[in-house]
Amino acid sequence: MQTEKSFPKTLVEAILYFADPDVAHEFVASMRWPDGKVICPRCGSSRVSFTAKRRVWTCSACSPRKQFSVKVGTIMEDSPIGLDKWLVGMWLVMSAKNGISSYELHRALGITQKSAWFLGHRIRLALHNGSVEMMKGTCEADETYIGAKARYMHKNRRTGVGDAGIKKTPVQGILERTKGKKASRVVLKVVQTTRRPELCGNVRDYVLPGSTVCTDALMSYDDLHRDYDRQVVDHLECYARGNVHTNGLENFWSLFKRSLKGTYVNVEPFHLFRYCDEQAFRFNERKSTDSERFLSAVPSIVGRRLTYRGLTGNVGVN
């Protein structure tokens, strides 16, 4: 694997670095198999031989699909786009503070906008953290609604039930506050409702019992007092009582909505969870450099595959 000194630190260096097909191939292989022992992604056998000219391996145990490339078994599987563009595309997504649209990727990488849109969603899939370390200490729980404002909607789309219910998608956020040198971190969940079982269930999934949980006066959180030290701030009275507030999440919501409205403009509800994963990753890794953020995300491309049919809702994610 490449030494830390030789690895690029900026976008310009990354473009030059990954322009060499052999270097790009070696980098992805080292991320997939850090111990140097290549394993067949289809059968798990280690009886493989490498063809350097075509950059593929041949598995002696598999039949009939014996050959596989470094892309097989990753988010890049079945993609005709080269590793040089894939890796630079990932670098662009990781380094963009407010996200990067498919049109920007299309112009930067020289691929079609449709391919850039598909590539962006597959990269967001790699940013999903399915095993978040349990939060503890002082945490915050809050929810927001994603969608168009009523005044911008056609009258036929308005439901007349108030701003929070006009065909918007609720998103719950749980934030662990800063502790010493450890920066605050957040986890997001797109929820079906804002009722007690779902909101309290998510808090119990991510926060250790006995921790302090600060919420607003929403009655859906009333059940938390059984397992947590629940602290309530009523926003009709004030926004903070000493350390009892949800201002950390309010700050995050402003960043999140700036990304959605300013960069992506419009996000369909069935794609929203991927944009949540992207923004949560960017927030949690905000203290890292672009290079460190890129290196922390690349290993997550393995074992995750998203087909175009799955992305557009025809078939589930493979």
- Domain segments of the chain as ranges: 11-36+71-126+292-311, 138-286
- Relative to beta strand 56-59, strand 240-241 is unpaired
3-class SS of residue 39: coil
Q: Which pLDDT value is given to residue 129?
A: 82
The CATH class of the 138-286 domain is: alpha beta
Q: Distances from the Cα of 123 to the Cαs of 148, 189, 242, 253, 275, in angstroms?
A: 26, 18, 40, 22, 10
Q: What is the mean pLDDT of each run of 10 residues along the chain (318 residues)?
A: 69 96 95 93 91 92 86 94 97 93 96 96 90 88 86 66 64 94 94 94 95 95 94 93 94 94 89 95 94 94 91 63
Q: Which pLDDT value is given to residue 242?
A: 92
CA angle, residues 200, 205, 208, in degrees to nearest 5: 95
Q: Which pLDDT value is given to residue 164?
A: 45
Q: Which pLDDT value is given to residue 312?
A: 87
Q: Which pLDDT value is given to residue 158?
A: 64
Strand partners, 175: 140, 186
CA 289 to centroid of chain Cα atoms: 17
Question: Could you give the CA distance from residue 73 to residue 90 in angstroms, rounded to a whole number?
Answer: 17
Question: Could you give the CA distance from residue 113 to residue 152 in angstroms, rounded to a whole number?
Answer: 27
Question: How many other C-beta atoms lie within 10 A of the C-beta of residue 285?
Answer: 19
Q: Which pLDDT value is given to residue 258?
A: 92
